[in-house]
Amino acid sequence: MAATDPNEAGDGRQAAVRQAFRLEALTLAWMTVEAGVAIGSGIAAGSLVLVAFGFDSLIELGSAVVLIWRLTVELRRGQTLAEGAERIASRIGGGLLFALAAYIVASAGWKLWMGEGAEFSAAGLVVGVVAVFAMYFLARGKLRLADRLDSRALRADAVESATCGWLALIVVVALVTQLVVGAWWLDAAASLAIVWFLVREGREAWSEAA
């Protein structure tokens, strides 16, 4: 078996880092649009599920900023110096996952307590449908690169993207169901189903950093 050229291996890692950087830049751009539309339409329609979805977008936006910082450190200073940034990014990513889980629980509990469902919003429905496909693409790409780079922080960010996609699907189902049959409790109850996943991945990211 031929020996692997260290320079080729290094070049391959640099290419993977640049790919991850591009994915995070796409995430940053989309999350800015998604958060603005979701929160704006949620406030206009009095829809808590859209506001919650917008908050998730803000958390994903913050995670993208952290990952861009971490990847920039490696591109400019190399893998060794990026390890410290990796640990910090992992802790921040885990903390963001915990924050997202807490917000979902609080938001869903409030909706169920008040007996309020999501109001229909055409703008919210459109951004939700687009987000389902966008988040699937981004999460899949990030998970693939996280394995190549052995990056826990990038994996945590991929989980947040996947979670954002699930929340987008919940938003779409909730808005359509509310419009058609008036099942006001569906979006709040369904949101609670993914909380365990967020907590588990948040704990893993935090433990890895430690």
The yes or no reply on domain 6-209 and CATH 1.20.1510.10 is: yes
Q: What is the mean pLDDT of residues 111-124?
A: 82
> What's the pLDDT score for residue 82?
57
140-185 pLDDT, tens per residue?
999 999 888 887 778 878 888 888 898 899 888 888 887 888 777 8
Which positions ≥6 away from 202 have C-beta within 8 Å?
94, 95, 96, 97, 98, 101, 156
What are the phi and psi torsion angles at 182 (to 5°)?
Answer: 75, 30
Neighbours of 46 (CB within 10 A): 12
16-53 pLDDT, tens per residue?
888 888 998 999 999 999 999 999 998 988 787 788 78
pTM listed for this prediction: 0.77
User: Which one of 98-107, 124-133, 144-153, 189-198 scores highest in mean pLDDT?
Assistant: 124-133
> What's the pLDDT score for residue 85?
66
**Exposure of 184 in the CB half-sphere (CA atoms within 13 A):** 11
Both tokens assigned to 162: 């996947």
In this model, does residue 6 exceed pLDDT 60? no
Sign of CA dihedral 73, 210, 60, 10: positive
Neighbours of 78 (CB within 10 A): 13
Question: Which of 163, 158, 164, 138 has its CA nearest to residue 205?
Answer: 158
